[in-house]
Amino acid sequence: MATKSDNKEKLNFALSRENYKLMAIGFAIIVAGFLLMLGGRSHDPNVFSEKIFSFRRITLAPIVVLAGFAFEIWAIMKKPKDNENKSA
């Protein structure tokens, strides 16, 4: 028979809930960077549009994407707070 203490045992996941939340934030940052890259096409396919060389698409968007990937690495490597050992 299972006792209450058996039911309260935590499953041993590699990452904590906080890590998963931070990873979701990092994913949102990466998606925002790719959304910043959108646009700049010409309405007429025979005419070249200079809009593709804007600061937003050439500089800002790649920086945001790289920051998102760096945030993802940090979110995975972040050590979770250990509340169980502090209360004992």
Pick 63 or 42 by higher pLDDT: 63
The pTM assigned to this predicted structure is 0.75
Give the per-residue pLDDT at 88.
45
Does position 86 have pLDDT exceeding 80, yes or no?
no
Give the per-residue pLDDT at 52.
87
Structure tokens at 29: 């940052």
Other Cβ atoms within 10 Å of 61 Cβ, number: 19
At 34, the pLDDT band (50, 70, 90 cuts) reads: very high
Q: Is 31 helix (H, G, I), strand (E, B) or coil?
A: helix
Does position 20 have pLDDT exceeding 80, yes or no?
yes
With b for 16 or more beta-carbon neighbours within 10 A and e for fewer, the 4-40 pattern comes to eeeeeeeeeeeeeeebeebbeebeebbeebeebbeee
